[in-house]
Protein backbone atom coordinates (compact mmCIF):
# COMPACT_ATOMS: atom_id res chain seq x y z
CA UNK A 1 0.00 0.00 0.00
CA UNK A 2 1.27 3.47 -0.86
CA UNK A 3 0.51 6.65 1.00
CA UNK A 4 0.10 9.73 -1.18
CA UNK A 5 -0.81 13.34 -0.55
CA UNK A 6 -3.93 14.88 -2.03
CA UNK A 7 -4.57 18.56 -2.73
CA UNK A 8 -5.40 19.22 0.91
CA UNK A 9 -2.32 17.43 2.33
CA UNK A 10 -4.46 14.71 3.93
CA UNK A 11 -3.04 11.23 3.58
CA UNK A 12 -4.81 8.41 1.82
CA UNK A 13 -3.83 4.84 1.23
CA UNK A 14 -3.79 3.33 -2.26
CA UNK A 15 -2.96 -0.11 -3.64
CA UNK A 16 -0.55 1.08 -6.33
CA UNK A 17 2.84 2.51 -5.47
CA UNK A 18 4.68 4.33 -8.27
CA UNK A 19 7.18 7.14 -8.34
CA UNK A 20 6.41 10.48 -9.93
CA UNK A 21 8.82 9.56 -12.76
CA UNK A 22 6.93 6.33 -13.41
CA UNK A 23 3.58 8.16 -13.60
CA UNK A 24 5.09 10.75 -15.97
CA UNK A 25 6.38 7.95 -18.21
CA UNK A 26 3.06 6.08 -18.32
CA UNK A 27 0.63 9.00 -18.73
CA UNK A 28 0.33 11.66 -21.40
CA UNK A 29 1.26 15.16 -20.16
CA UNK A 30 -2.44 16.09 -20.06
CA UNK A 31 -3.39 12.93 -18.12
CA UNK A 32 -0.52 13.49 -15.70
CA UNK A 33 -1.66 17.07 -15.06
CA UNK A 34 -5.21 15.91 -14.24
CA UNK A 35 -4.59 12.58 -12.51
CA UNK A 36 -1.45 13.36 -10.51
CA UNK A 37 -1.57 17.16 -10.11
CA UNK A 38 -5.33 17.55 -9.51
CA UNK A 39 -5.89 19.47 -12.73
CA UNK A 40 -9.11 20.02 -14.65
CA UNK A 41 -9.67 19.72 -18.38
CA UNK A 42 -11.61 22.37 -20.27
CA UNK A 43 -15.40 21.83 -20.14
CA UNK A 44 -16.77 20.25 -23.32
CA UNK A 45 -13.35 18.99 -24.43
CA UNK A 46 -13.73 15.28 -23.63
CA UNK A 47 -14.90 12.79 -26.26
CA UNK A 48 -16.38 10.82 -23.33
CA UNK A 49 -19.10 13.47 -23.03
CA UNK A 50 -20.70 11.98 -26.14
CA UNK A 51 -20.11 8.31 -25.28
CA UNK A 52 -23.51 6.58 -25.39
CA UNK A 53 -22.54 2.91 -25.79
CA UNK A 54 -22.87 0.33 -23.04
CA UNK A 55 -19.65 -0.43 -21.22
CA UNK A 56 -17.36 0.49 -18.35
CA UNK A 57 -15.43 3.67 -17.62
CA UNK A 58 -12.02 2.77 -16.15
CA UNK A 59 -9.24 4.78 -14.53
CA UNK A 60 -6.82 5.88 -17.27
CA UNK A 61 -3.89 5.44 -14.89
CA UNK A 62 -4.46 1.95 -13.48
CA UNK A 63 -7.45 0.38 -15.26
CA UNK A 64 -9.66 0.16 -12.16
CA UNK A 65 -13.34 -0.10 -13.07
CA UNK A 66 -15.04 3.13 -11.94
CA UNK A 67 -18.47 3.62 -13.53
CA UNK A 68 -21.00 1.69 -15.63
CA UNK A 69 -22.50 3.42 -18.67
CA UNK A 70 -25.95 2.99 -17.09
CA UNK A 71 -24.94 5.51 -14.40
CA UNK A 72 -23.85 8.17 -16.94
CA UNK A 73 -26.16 11.08 -17.69
CA UNK A 74 -26.08 14.46 -19.39
CA UNK A 75 -25.61 17.04 -16.64
CA UNK A 76 -25.00 20.03 -18.87
CA UNK A 77 -21.77 20.73 -16.95
CA UNK A 78 -19.38 20.03 -19.85
CA UNK A 79 -17.79 17.01 -18.14
CA UNK A 80 -18.79 13.33 -18.16
CA UNK A 81 -21.20 12.90 -15.24
CA UNK A 82 -22.41 9.86 -13.32
CA UNK A 83 -24.88 9.41 -10.46
CA UNK A 84 -22.98 6.55 -8.79
CA UNK A 85 -19.71 4.58 -9.00
CA UNK A 86 -19.62 0.98 -10.16
CA UNK A 87 -19.29 -0.15 -6.56
CA UNK A 88 -18.87 1.53 -3.20
CA UNK A 89 -15.10 0.99 -3.10
CA UNK A 90 -14.24 2.15 -6.64
CA UNK A 91 -14.15 5.90 -6.03
CA UNK A 92 -12.83 7.48 -2.84
CA UNK A 93 -13.45 11.06 -1.76
CA UNK A 94 -11.71 13.73 0.28
CA UNK A 95 -12.52 17.30 1.22
CA UNK A 96 -11.00 19.81 -1.21
CA UNK A 97 -10.50 23.35 0.12
CA UNK A 98 -8.54 24.69 -2.86
CA UNK A 99 -9.74 27.70 -4.90
CA UNK A 100 -11.33 29.30 -1.83
CA UNK A 101 -14.25 26.88 -1.61
CA UNK A 102 -15.14 23.54 -0.06
CA UNK A 103 -15.76 20.71 -2.51
CA UNK A 104 -15.62 16.92 -2.45
CA UNK A 105 -12.76 15.56 -4.56
CA UNK A 106 -13.21 12.15 -6.20
CA UNK A 107 -10.17 9.97 -6.78
CA UNK A 108 -9.49 6.41 -7.89
CA UNK A 109 -9.47 4.22 -4.79
CA UNK A 110 -6.86 1.94 -6.38
CA UNK A 111 -4.17 4.41 -7.51
CA UNK A 112 -5.21 7.72 -5.93
CA UNK A 113 -5.55 9.47 -9.30
CA UNK A 114 -7.67 12.65 -9.29
CA UNK A 115 -10.92 12.04 -11.20
CA UNK A 116 -12.95 15.17 -10.53
CA UNK A 117 -15.48 16.28 -7.91
CA UNK A 118 -18.80 15.13 -6.46
CA UNK A 119 -21.72 17.53 -6.08
CA UNK A 120 -25.12 17.08 -4.35
CA UNK A 121 -27.15 18.15 -7.41
CA UNK A 122 -27.46 14.91 -9.35
CA UNK A 123 -30.48 12.85 -10.37
CA UNK A 124 -32.25 10.10 -8.48
CA UNK A 125 -31.63 7.63 -7.04
CA UNK A 126 -28.48 9.06 -5.38
CA UNK A 127 -28.88 12.82 -5.85
CA UNK A 128 -25.14 12.95 -6.58
CA UNK A 129 -23.23 14.21 -9.61
CA UNK A 130 -19.79 12.66 -10.07
CA UNK A 131 -18.36 15.31 -12.39
CA UNK A 132 -15.33 13.57 -13.91
CA UNK A 133 -12.46 14.63 -16.12
CA UNK A 134 -12.55 12.59 -19.31
CA UNK A 135 -8.74 12.53 -19.34
CA UNK A 136 -8.80 10.56 -16.10
CA UNK A 137 -10.83 7.75 -17.65
CA UNK A 138 -10.95 5.38 -20.60
CA UNK A 139 -14.08 3.73 -21.96
CA UNK A 140 -14.26 -0.01 -22.57
CA UNK A 141 -17.32 -0.98 -24.64
CA UNK A 142 -19.39 -3.98 -23.58
CA UNK A 143 -18.57 -7.17 -25.44
Q: Domain residues of the chain, as ranges?
A: 2-141
Which is the catalytic residue, given 62, 108, 111, 131? 131
Pairing state of beta strands 114-119 and 55-59?
Answer: unpaired
| φ, ψ dihedrals at 20, nearest 5° | -60, -40
* 131 is known as an active-site residue: yes
For 106, which DSSP code? E
Contact in structure between 1 and 15 (CB atoms under 8 Å): yes
- Low-confidence residues in the chain, pLDDT < 50: 1-11
Which of 35, 137, 17 is CA-nearest to residue 85?
Answer: 137
- Rounded CA gap, 93 and 107, in Å? 6
Residue-level pLDDT at 13: 56
Query: Which H helix or E strand runs over 105?
Result: strand 103-108
% the chain with pLDDT above 70: 91
- Rounded CA gap, 32 and 14, in Å? 17
Residue-level pLDDT at 15: 84
- Rounded CA gap, 25 and 67, in Å? 26
Which of 66, 43, 51 is CA-nearest to residue 136?
Answer: 66
pLDDT tens readout for residues 51-84: 999 999 999 999 999 999 999 999 999 999 999 9
Fold of 2-141: 2.170.150
Residue-level pLDDT at 116: 97
**Residue 138 CB contacts under 8 Å (≥ 6 apart), including other chains:** 57, 58, 59, 60
Amino acid sequence: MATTKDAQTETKTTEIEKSDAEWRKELTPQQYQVLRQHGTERPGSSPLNNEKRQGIFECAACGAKLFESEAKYESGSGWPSFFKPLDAGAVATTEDRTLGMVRTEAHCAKCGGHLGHVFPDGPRPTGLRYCMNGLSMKFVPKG
